[in-house]
Amino acid sequence: MEELIIKAVRKIIEARKAVALTGAGISAESGIPTFRDKGGLWDRYDPEEYATIQAFQENPAKVWTMLEEFMEMKKAKPNPGHFGLAELEKMGHLRAIITQNVDNLHQEAGNAEVIEFHGNFRRAICLKCGSRYKMSEISLEKLPPRCSCGNALKPDAVFFGEPITPLTLQRAQEISQNCDLMLVIGTSAVVYPAASMPEIAKQAGAKIIEINPEKTYLSDYISDYFIKGLSGKILPIIVDEIKRMAKEN
């Protein structure tokens, strides 16, 4: 394992245009449930009933009951995995993060270049008049919360059946196409188009370093280095190792 991490660290140091793709796993150590792990959100809530745009339009109050649990993430704080990526950016070893997470924790940890691929739960949007609200400013006492125009508000996040914002998709594809290394962290890589980013990067010649306690389909087919472990443990080790090597040179 140590040898594998050292090899990966060398690749990170050599890279000039490294980026990261993150998923729910990086926030697991902040206490936010993942979707597909045992006991994850989709174990308890059928996504067909709770996460599609059709379900939301038919019964927004019901969907908001699940969202309320997810809203508990308001209390969550970045963990050492998030801070590790923030430090990599500060040290000049990471250009951007494409995140599928809607929890805002990369931004809170200090990363400046974060592409919110699936939106951000810190905002709510009215699909009728387009008004946006800060989640902290709306009352969740009566569900669903409503816009001043009367329509039900939706978190500013992508539901199944909704397209990714075109500019966001374009930016993520460009970044993936142009990077020379991609860290793929804490994602099961089953939800497209986010899951196609490592494929785009690989095809364009980038090295792929995957960090996850479990193998994914990427691990054997796309990843050059699969580091088995929790991102909150592995990323600080990577950062320390980069600093140690910098001191030696």
Active site residues: 118
User: Residue 213 contacts by C-beta under 8 Å, 6 or more apart in sequence?
Assistant: 25, 228, 229, 230
Binding mask 185-214 vs ligand OAD (x if CB under 6 A, - otherwise)? -xxx--x-------------------xxxx
103 sits near ligand OAD (criterion: CB under 6 A): no
166-178 and 196-203 helices, crossing angle to 10°: 40
Minimum distance of ligand OAD from residue 146's CB (angstroms): 23
Handedness of CA 170, 239, 24, 111 (dihedral sign): negative
Contact status: 28 vs ligand OAD (CB under 6 A): yes
Express the helix, strand and coil content of the chain in percent, nearest 5 each: 45, 20, 35
Question: 20 and 85 in contact (C-beta within 8 Å)?
Answer: yes
Given 51, 73, 182, 184, the residue binding ligand OAD (CB under 6 A) = 51
Q: Which is nearer to ligand OAD, 165 or 178 (CB)?
A: 165
Residues that contact ligand OAD, how many (by CB under 6 A): 27
| Residues contributing to the site for ligand OAD (CB under 6 A) | 23-26, 28-29, 34-37, 40, 51, 100, 118, 158, 186-188, 191, 211-214, 216, 230-232
